[in-house]
Amino acid sequence: MEKEYNESSSFDYGFLPIPKHLRYTPGAPLRFSIARNAAFGICTTFVVANLYYSQPLLIQLSLYFDVSYEEISRVPTLLQAGYATGVVFVSPLGDLVPRRPLLLVVVLTDIMFTLGLALTHSAHVFEALSFVVGVTSVAPQILTPFAADLAPENRRASTISIIFAGLLFGILVARVLSGIVAEFSTWRIIYYIDVGLLAAVLVTLYFVVPEHPAKNKDLTYLGILTSMLKLSTTEPVLIQASLITLGSNACYMNFWVTLTFILGGSPYHYSTLVIGLFGLIGMFGVSMGPILGRGIDRLVTWYAILIPTFCMVIFWSIQTAAAGVNISAIVIVCIGLDLCDAMQQVSLSTAVFSISESARARLNAVLILSNFIGQFTGTAAATKVYIEHGWRASAALGLACAVFQLLLLFVRGPHCERYTWLGYQGGWEWKKIDGEHNDDDKETSDIQ
C-alpha cells in the first residue's frame, strides 16, 4: 500500500525544484490525464528506439571500425542483453524508491552513455557501451507499472495500451530513422540525433512525471530481488501470464523471422525494400491497441486474454495453410497477429498488475523477462525449423504454440481466487462490475 507522505520534499535529489503542479499532496492525488498518458507513451517510443538504431547501421559500423560483420553483429545482442539486465536489476527499484527521481537519473545516464557511442573510435568500446546503454534504457519498464499506479482502475488497460503502443512504435521509428540517416550520412549522426531526442525525453519527464512517495520504504534492494524469486514461484496468475507471454513472443518472432525468407523466396521474390514495408502493415494492428484498451477495461481480464489468444490460433491456421501460396494471406496474418499481440500483452499486464499494487515493478520485471526468453526461443526454433523443413512446418510450429497458450489459459477459470492453481470458481460473468477492484494487497507482507 502507498506510504503516508506528511509533506512534499519540493526538490529532487535535494536541489532540483519539482514543479508545483507535480508535487505530491496526501489525500489529493494528481489526476492522470490522457495528455500525461500520451506523454508517457511518446517518451517510451524514443527510449526504446535506442535499442534498435544499430541494426540498419551494422554494415557501416563494420567498415568504419574495420572489423568483421560477425563481430559487429554482437552489438544488437549486447544491447538486448543489457536491456534484460536492466529489467531484472534496475526496473524493480520502482518498488523501492520514488519513481520520478529514478526515471530522471536513468534517462540522464542513458544520454551520457549514448553520447559515448557517438564519440568512440574503438569497436570494443562501442560494444561495451552498447551493453551499458541497454541497461540504462529501461525507463519504459519503470513508466509502465508507474502508470498503472496512477491510472484509475477502470482505465488501467487503456493506459497500459498507450504505453505499449509507444514501445512498439519505437522499434519502427528507430529502424526507419536509422536507415534514412545511414543512406545519406555517417552513422555517428544518428547517435547525435538520439542524444537530442533523449534530452527532449528528459525535459518532458521533468515537466510531466508527478512526485510520488516510495511504496516499500521498509524493504532493501536485496529484499526486492529475493521477493521477485518468490513471486515467480508462488503467484499462479503471474506464472500463467509469464508462460503465455513466453509462448506469444515465441510465435511473434517466428512470424517476423521467417517472413523475410518467405517473401524473398518462391513464389514472391520481393526486394528488401518491399519486405521492409510489411513492418508498416503490422503497425496498423499496433495502432489499434489504445482503442481496444477501452474495451479491455470493460471485460473481466480472463476474457480479454481469451479473445486475442483464440484469434491467434485462427491467424496461425491461415498462415499454415496459405502463407506460401497467396500474398493476401500474409497481409491478413501480419495485421491480425500484431493486433492480437497488442491486445494480449496489455491484458496480461493488467492481470499481473492486479496481483499486488505494492509489487508492480517486480511483477512487471518477471513478465518482461519471460518476454525475452520467448523471443530468444522463437527466433532460434523458427529459423532451424524453416531451414530444415520449410515455411509450412515453421507456421505449424507457430500454430502449435498458439494452441499451447490457449490451453494454458484454460487451466484457470475467469474468477479463480488469487492462490488457486487449477480449476474454475465464481461463475462465468464476462463483464467487469463497475467499481470492481482487482488489487489484492492482503498478502503484501508475505511478498516482502
Residues 207 and 245 in one domain: no
256 and 206 in a common domain:
no
Compute how many other C-beta atoms are within 10 angstroms of the C-beta atom of residue 143.
Answer: 25
For residues 106 and 69, membership in a common domain is answered with yes
User: Is the same domain home to 205 and 140?
Assistant: yes
List strand residue ranges (DSSP E) for 236-371, in order. Answer: none
Does 402 share its domain with 323?
yes
Tell me if the pTM is above 0.95: no
My answer on whether 233 and 350 are in the same domain is yes
Q: Based on the domain organization, do 26 and 127 belong to the same domain?
A: yes
Same domain, 353 and 273: yes
Q: Transcribe 293-323 into DSSP letters.
A: HHHHHHB-HHHHHHHHHHHHHHHHHHHHHHT
Per-residue pLDDT, 276: 66
Separation CA 295–CA 339 (nearest Å): 14
Check whether residue 318 and residue 406 sit in a common domain.
yes
Where the chain has pLDDT below 50, the residues are 1-8, 435, 437-445
Q: State pLDDT tens for residues 31-79.
A: 788 889 999 999 999 999 999 888 778 878 888 998 887 788 788 888 9
Q: Kindly state the helix (H) or strand (E) to which residue 16 belongs, with its residue range.
A: strand 16-17
DSSP for 51-114, please give it: GTTTGGGHHHHHHHHT--HHHHTHHHHHHHHHHHHHHHHTGGGGGTS-HHHHHHHHHHHHHHHH
Does residue 439 lie in a domain region? no
In this predicted structure, what is the pLDDT of residue 434? Answer: 54
Structural domain for 288, as ranges = 228-426
Q: What is the CATH number of the domain that holds 28?
A: 1.20.1250.20
Helix axes 156-184, 272-287, angle to 10 degrees: 160
DSSP summary character for residue 158: H
CB within 8 Å of 252: residues ≥ 6 apart: 337, 341, 374, 375, 378
Instruction: Determine, yes or no, domain membership for 433.
Output: no
In this structure, is residue 84 part of a structural domain? yes
Hunting for cell 531484472 — which residue is that? 88
Q: 197 and 242 share a domain?
A: no
Going by C-alpha positions, the residue among 448, 286, 377, 376 that lies closest to residue 84 is: 376
* Predicted pLDDT of residue 1: 39
Is residue 90 within 8 Å of 135, Cβ to Cβ? yes
Q: How many domains does the chain have?
A: 2
- In-domain check, residue 5: no
Asked whether residue 38 is domain-assigned, the answer is: yes
How do residues 224-271 score in pLDDT, each as one tens digit? 899 989 988 899 999 999 999 999 989 988 888 788 788 888 888 887
Phi then psi for 235, rounded to 5 degrees? -105, 105
Residue 58 located in a structural domain: yes
Shared domain for 232 and 148, answered yes or no, is no
Judgement on whether residues 262 and 317 belong to the same structural domain of the protein: yes
pLDDT at site 342: 85
Element at 17 (helix H, strand E): strand 16-17
DSSP letter (8 states) at residue 49: G
What is the per-residue pLDDT for 5?
Answer: 44
